[in-house]
Structure 1
Amino acid sequence: MSDRDKDVEILALRHQITVLERQLGGQRVRFTASDRAFLAALLHRLPSRVLRGVRLVVHPDTLLRWHRDLVARRHAARSRPKRSGRPRTVRSIRLLVLRLARDNPSWG
């Protein structure tokens, strides 16, 4: 695709955004979680000054917040323990406790 074709496509997309904003009036655009994740992953690498110049339906700060949330959720999911609850007791300790209980029937 040539640079001219890309420029024409960008202008067409910007015009569509303008028309959609006009039709919505004062209403807010609702994004799904996958829409937010896609936009955040796509645009977070742009420098702040470039991001502020891009014609978006949402504020650039909102995009950056979505990206922070995306990274935080990913980190939280990876650092979550694989098993819930108390970890298993080592087998040798479990056998020792059972032997001590058998050898000392007067315990609790």
Structure 2
Amino acid sequence: MLSHCVSPIAVDLGTETLKIPFAMRILGRMKKNKWLNTPEFKKNSPTAKEFIRTEHYEFETIKNELTQKVQKLGKGFQVIQIKTHPFWEKLSESDWKNLQSKHLDHHL
């Protein structure tokens, strides 16, 4: 799960890419406000194939990676390398924080 949590942050930081089909990008724009305004992510929400993990990871290594990426995000909006999210499109700084916070809370 920790590795899964690393991936969306890596997309934000520009070290991983996320390929979203056109129809899903339309859906993302339509659902963006609903997701941003909901208090938490629902169980069994759809997951991008790039975020699905089946491998085994060394716990301490991946925990440290997640910690480092969260700390980097904590430095502010300027560290986010993609200015248009592949699924949600344009996001404000508070939107980015909101989505990452909800995602981490959802899993951890």
Q: Could you say which TM-score interval applies, normalised by the shorter chain?
A: under 0.3
**Structure with max Cα Rg:** 1
- TM-score, with structure 1 as normaliser: 0.25
- TM-score, with structure 2 as normaliser: 0.25
Structure with the larger RCO, 1 or 2 (CA within 8 Å, 6+ apart): 2
Larger helix proportion of the pair? 1
